[in-house]
Structure 1
């Protein structure tokens, strides 16, 4: 169990650096810091997915919480305002833990109060509960203990910030133990189902909340929130409020909690996880798996990413197969097959609009690898034959004759990709019209993935009694392999070039070359060169949290990922450490040094402590290239969690 004592909880900076996350399986989420202060625009008690898994609206930002003991008041909340932190409720925190939900324990006037928050799976619903621990209650002689909850509403697209506006409809309907508010016609109503003693109208704006992380990232960082009413409770009884886009009864909380505890327990049970670290990663993995239509998809990262094709296919193995949730993998593969267009799966589904974006060369190639992993795990080749094989063969044909963005097979059998102003590989940072790592031509990992896909298809064609295509795919793979090994070796650096185009070779030492060794069907045909690549990557790129995206010896190396949006985007793939790359590195190392598993365990050890450092129970997207390798980007990233689970699954 992840937990923090008062030393961390009562330290505002330390407590505000640690974020918790709850998700609902349809794209909605709740998130904030353990101090109680919101430090991002994305923090909130309920961010609803109105068009699952997207259409996300931050509806309820937080509650202001006031405890009253025999008339003496204590504020439990915390907020950053201009030049002030108020209130200072974090000072009353005795502990915080994930059990399995976020649970806070406050100690005030000799009374311990426990606060619990969780989301219901499959609906835009957050349940918040408070109680006085029984053994503490017996020590207090019949005090009058009351709790007042003041909801602070935002009702904006989750990428945006709210400002005081006359367009916000402040009226609400209170009936029995339910309050409904509907600030904007184009958004759903929000229900507060509660067991409060009274509901009192307030109707005020709280102004100028400041979000420290937004400020650091160079974005707008001030927000106003609307406070419509106050719920007043007798805290000598258990307190419940269910915040939802659906109508509930406060009594539903018991069954909702029981169902969610059982669901999460079942995930750990079917995964076979034995140690606490792996159990936590299994729960972390589940937070990225969401519904899309009748199928499933994967949210790339919290708090700001939607579902991306590349991330989904890379993460599928670790999030679903390594956790023994093969049916989820099947649903994801089938769902993405419905969106194949011109031989490509989508790069991403945008937050606004229904048109998928296809600006990627590698997502489709990772799709082949995800299907291979699924079939190898389940032996469900019937599914591949009936639903996917013809579509995969059509993808190959599209690549042969050419598809979007000049993606096509060249005369040497290698895959060319790229047009000016478009980013197609995973190194996809772009600011305005500037693409920082365009990598136009024949990127090294694209050739490795292309070869892997052709070998997979040759195997399937043979298995499915399609001899003509079996021969064709095998011949294409052989030509690609010969051409690759003839042009990609960089003798001066004892590694592979990153991109080859028209006789020019990019000698930047990057991690992309590791996939020429690591993939199940490796395109590199020289074991000695494979060893040199692994050693080169370990020497110049390996850190305790993943691989640097560029060698520190390069003049373009950026040691720290910080600053304005432009500065951060320009550093994103110029030295910044990426966790997900550790999976390919471990695979390659196991091939080259099969008898040195202790070294692999050493490499993975750092992630155990990281679970308590940023996103509680999660693994970050990126880290600074230079020590101490501060975590950056999303505090919870799908392929980061997935690749750690996948390589652990092979232990």
Structure 2
């Protein structure tokens, strides 16, 4: 993934993202400019896992060789000026695993730069080494230290950050924040000095596109001066958890990070012994998958197994936290496809403590917050996540412990729970919804306007309900219990599900028994009636679903959320918050659906290799937008510009899971 990056638009369009396993992250553009308020070198989890605060915004480096100076960074300003334009001396950029690597070409000098976050730490390294120099010359790197202390969703303004600055020797600077925690910066191979000044009016063009505040001010607290050598790394370590007893060693820290990435790929290879080779882009997705997995404090919450730390999934970087629906959809791909069933188990046991009224929270709560249960599908995806885990692990002890909780989900969905969710005894289907509430994954809401209310009996909810009943029958049998009541309920639901089949043969209704009758709009939700392990449809109906999705919705990077010929179709996901939310599920392409489409196509055609080719465009996408990861959404029309979060958990997970499953089938048939 090595390419020149002198073109500013391309260098800013391509972003690198690193996560630390605690919910914190580092992010920026290849150009080194800020284009989002979320860009920064250290967004730390001061109150884990969701209390994320921007701590180190920029470390702007200038290479100095005698009287010559080369800025190794770029800044955009509110008046439209780009100064300096350091992207012009980028010789190449690449990812080494997940680590961004720049080669800077400055006259006779060539300098390499790397950035990484040590796993499990709210810390970041930015280091340099001289690849080519002049005999006898010792170039220097001068780095401006631009800090902040703000919630990562907010934009900084002059005067809102007033830290107490102190030097500890000549190589360590600390900034004491208002709540008492320190941001500590240590120079390895150089020295530090305090030089305090506000740098105002950085432009944030992506925030401007999104109709949000688009200028920020940052506090420069000082400078670091580093001496470049050809035999060792020099650089900065920034952290909010300083270890004063240990001298930082960039060489060792770098090797530990690279070893961790190599171990993740090795674990996946060892787990999938029947797959002889993993393409480079699949290995990149394996690394991307790890970026979404976090530790989550459980506190006093009941769990299946007493443990001090649970586990969860960040739904997407930069702005999402951990969500019930997203976590369960993503779990098989992030953990089981990567050979890490022990993490899958920790996540499932962590969420067991949040099941209430047969439901999982939509938004997983932060400290002191109340769970929000406005989701009809999260609990059903939870049942499917347990199916995937048990199939991978045969862990019947864990299944026996969770089975009463899974039973409670079925009971509450049958008898009724929040938001009108319950089974209609007339047809065995699940109805859901109340005015003003969005319950399915198509959950955009603008003020009081629910864009896609889908009140009634949504197609994917009932596909998941049928599938879940079949899974529960299997679970009961594995545990030596009577599965008949689940089988009988599944048979009844399957008979009722025939109501979704459109008489014109064009797939399925999106919702039946809605306020205005049956909804015939062509949406991708029907694909789950084929992609899930247990389908309620016969072969001709399954084929009609795949044909309808292929004809109306399929794009290289996913499925449109609404057919193009629909009057409500929006071809671009752009503009202010209202415009974007109005388009979110009205034509926007969703990458996570591509994995389900590929599985559904295989189940209709029996051709695993052909179905697998549907996933191939993602390999090219990994070199665009959020480098090494998969975007949340894309425009409905060519060129299908990436939109939404540049790194989305279920986008990565569903594509990775589908590729692995199809590859096992393909190799097995070979």
* Shift, 1:603, TM fit: 1.6
Q: What's the CA shift string for 1:98-149, capped at 9, x where partnerless?
A: 113111111112000111110000010101111111xx23xx1322422111
Secondary structure at 2:463's aligned position in 1?
A: helix
Report the equivalent of 1:68: 64
Report the equivalent of 2:521: 508
* Shift, 1:175, TM fit: 3.3
Counting only pairs closer than 5 Å after superposition, residues 551-566 of structure 1 correspond to structure 2 as: 551-566=563-578
Report the equivalent of 1:278: 282
The structure 2 residue matched to 1:241, chosen from 226, 236, 239, is 236
Secondary structure at 1:251's aligned position in 2?
A: coil
CA distance in 1: counterparts of 2:165 and 2:187, whole angstroms? 18
* Shift, 1:377, TM fit: 1.2
Q: What's the CA shift string for 1:344-381, capped at 9, x where partnerless?
A: 11111256743222110001100011100110111112
Secondary structure at 1:490's aligned position in 2?
A: coil
Report the equivalent of 1:641: 652
Counting only pairs closer than 5 Å after superposition, residues 166-177 of structure 1 correspond to structure 2 as: 168-177=162-171
When the two structures are superposed, what TM-score results if normalisation uses the length of structure 2? 0.92
Report the equivalent of 2:124: 126
The structure 1 residue matched to 2:87, chosen from 87, 90, 98, is 90
Q: What's the CA shift string for 1:574-623, capped at 9, x where partnerless?
A: 011001111221121111100x3343233222111111011111111101
Secondary structure at 1:604's aligned position in 2?
A: coil
Q: What's the CA shift string for 1:187-240, capped at 9, x where partnerless?
A: 621111222543222110000001111011110010000001111122236312
The structure 2 residue matched to 1:455, chosen from 462, 466, 470, is 470
The structure 2 residue matched to 1:302, chosen from 295, 309, 317, is 317
Secondary structure at 1:496's aligned position in 2?
A: coil
CA distance in 2: counterparts of 1:640 and 1:455, whole angstroms? 26
CA distance in 2: counterparts of 1:531 and 1:275, whole angstroms? 30
Deviates more, 1:615-624 or 1:502-511: 502-511
- Structure 2 unaligned residues grouped into runs of 5+: 270-276, 298-308, 664-670
Contact 2:170 2:193 in 1 (8 A): no
Report the equivalent of 1:111: 109
1:44 counterpart = 2:59? no
1:584 counterpart = 2:580? no
The structure 2 residue matched to 1:378, chosen from 383, 387, 393, is 393
Secondary structure at 2:637's aligned position in 1?
A: coil
The structure 2 residue matched to 1:464, chosen from 479, 483, 501, is 479
CA distance in 2: counterparts of 1:489 and 1:188, whole angstroms? 59
Contact 1:196 1:231 in 2 (8 A): no
Report the equivalent of 1:393: 407
The structure 2 residue matched to 1:258, chosen from 255, 261, 272, is 255
When the two structures are superposed, what TM-score results if normalisation uses the length of structure 1? 0.95
CA 1:418–1:171: 2 relative to 1, 3 Å: same
CA distance in 2: counterparts of 1:196 and 1:165, whole angstroms? 32
CA distance in 1: counterparts of 2:250 and 2:14, whole angstroms? 27
Secondary structure at 1:3's aligned position in 2?
A: coil
1:231 counterpart = 2:257? no
CA distance in 2: counterparts of 1:400 and 1:332, whole angstroms? 26
The structure 2 residue matched to 1:481, chosen from 494, 501, 504, is 494
CA 1:99–1:166: 2 relative to 1, 3 Å: closer
Q: What's the CA shift string for 1:261-293, capped at 9, x where partnerless?
A: 111111101111622111111111111111112
CA distance in 1: counterparts of 2:224 and 2:160, whole angstroms? 24
CA distance in 1: counterparts of 2:342 and 2:456, whole angstroms? 37
* Shift, 1:460, TM fit: 1.4
Contact 1:242 1:250 in 2 (8 A): no
Contact 1:318 1:641 in 2 (8 A): yes
1:27 counterpart = 2:23? yes
Contact 1:170 1:203 in 2 (8 A): no
* Shift, 1:176, TM fit: 4.8
Secondary structure at 2:129's aligned position in 1?
A: strand
CA distance in 1: counterparts of 2:365 and 2:204, whole angstroms? 25
Contact 2:268 2:338 in 1 (8 A): yes
CA distance in 1: counterparts of 2:389 and 2:190, whole angstroms? 53
* Shift, 1:65, TM fit: 1.2
Report the equivalent of 2:300: none
Contact 1:170 1:228 in 2 (8 A): no
Report the equivalent of 1:608: 619
CA distance in 2: counterparts of 1:16 and 1:350, whole angstroms? 34
CA distance in 1: counterparts of 2:254 and 2:138, whole angstroms? 28
Secondary structure at 1:642's aligned position in 2?
A: helix
* Shift, 1:74, TM fit: 2.0
CA distance in 2: counterparts of 1:466 and 1:83, whole angstroms? 69
CA distance in 1: counterparts of 2:278 and 2:247, whole angstroms? 36
CA distance in 1: counterparts of 2:586 and 2:215, whole angstroms? 31
CA distance in 2: counterparts of 1:539 and 1:4, whole angstroms? 36
CA distance in 2: counterparts of 1:68 and 1:253, whole angstroms? 22
- Structure 1 unaligned residues grouped into runs of 5+: none
- Computed over aligned residues only, the root mean square deviation of the Cα atoms, in angstroms, reads 1.5
CA 1:247–1:149: 2 relative to 1, 3 Å: same
Contact 1:173 1:181 in 2 (8 A): no
Deviates more, 1:74-83 or 1:568-577: 74-83
The structure 2 residue matched to 1:200, chosen from 188, 193, 217, is 193
Contact 2:187 2:226 in 1 (8 A): no
The structure 2 residue matched to 1:151, chosen from 132, 135, 145, is 145
The structure 1 residue matched to 2:347, chosen from 329, 332, 349, is 332
CA distance in 1: counterparts of 2:580 and 2:285, whole angstroms? 28
CA distance in 2: counterparts of 1:195 and 1:599, whole angstroms? 52
Q: What's the CA shift string for 1:439-495, capped at 9, x where partnerless?
A: 01110000000111111111212222222xx2222222111111111x212113521
CA distance in 1: counterparts of 2:475 and 2:189, whole angstroms? 62
Contact 2:237 2:248 in 1 (8 A): no
Q: What's the CA shift string for 1:16-48, capped at 9, x where partnerless?
A: 000001111111100000000011011000000
1:621 counterpart = 2:625? no
Contact 1:119 1:125 in 2 (8 A): yes
The size of the alignment, in residue pairs, is 636
Contact 2:314 2:320 in 1 (8 A): yes
CA 1:196–1:254: 2 relative to 1, 3 Å: closer
CA distance in 2: counterparts of 1:607 and 1:318, whole angstroms? 15
Deviates more, 1:344-353 or 1:67-76: 344-353
Contact 1:193 1:247 in 2 (8 A): no
